[in-house]
Amino acid sequence: MGQAINIETIMGLIIHGGNAKSDAMEAIHAAKTDDFALAAEKLDSADKSLVEAHHAQTSLLTQEASGEELTVSLLAVHSQDHLMNAITFRDMASEVVDVYKKLAGVTID
């Protein structure tokens, strides 16, 4: 049987993914009130959380790629699902912010 995946790594994926999704949602809310500076700040913060999540994910991938057999739990699967949803939500948030900018007559970068 393989080695259990480190619970701290799994929780890191969930926490950082959740933070990224929350920041992306806050970016949409900021854009909705024409606060595009705050929206950009929140999208940047979401990106930073996603980088942290990717570091945790890379650590797991590196372990497995080096031949270490890992036991995958439902929590580990959930953490990957959480990360993928956060990435998708972050991408959509950027598009929604751009729509609000266009509606406000702001030039889109």
Question: Could you please report the per-residue DSSP string of 6-61?
Answer: PHHHHHHHHHHHHHHHHHHHHHHHHHHTT-HHHHHHHHHHHHHHHHHHHHHHHHHH
Q: Rounded to whole angstroms, how far apart are CA atoms 85 and 95?
A: 16
CB atoms within 10 A of CB 73: 13
Catalytic residue at 78? yes
Catalytic residue among 16, 55, 78, 82: 78
For residue 60, what pLDDT band results from cuts at 50, 70 and 90?
confident
For residue 4, what pLDDT band results from cuts at 50, 70 and 90?
low
pTM above 0.85, yes or no: yes
Structure tokens at 55: 């570091």
DSSP-based three-state secondary structure for 4: strand
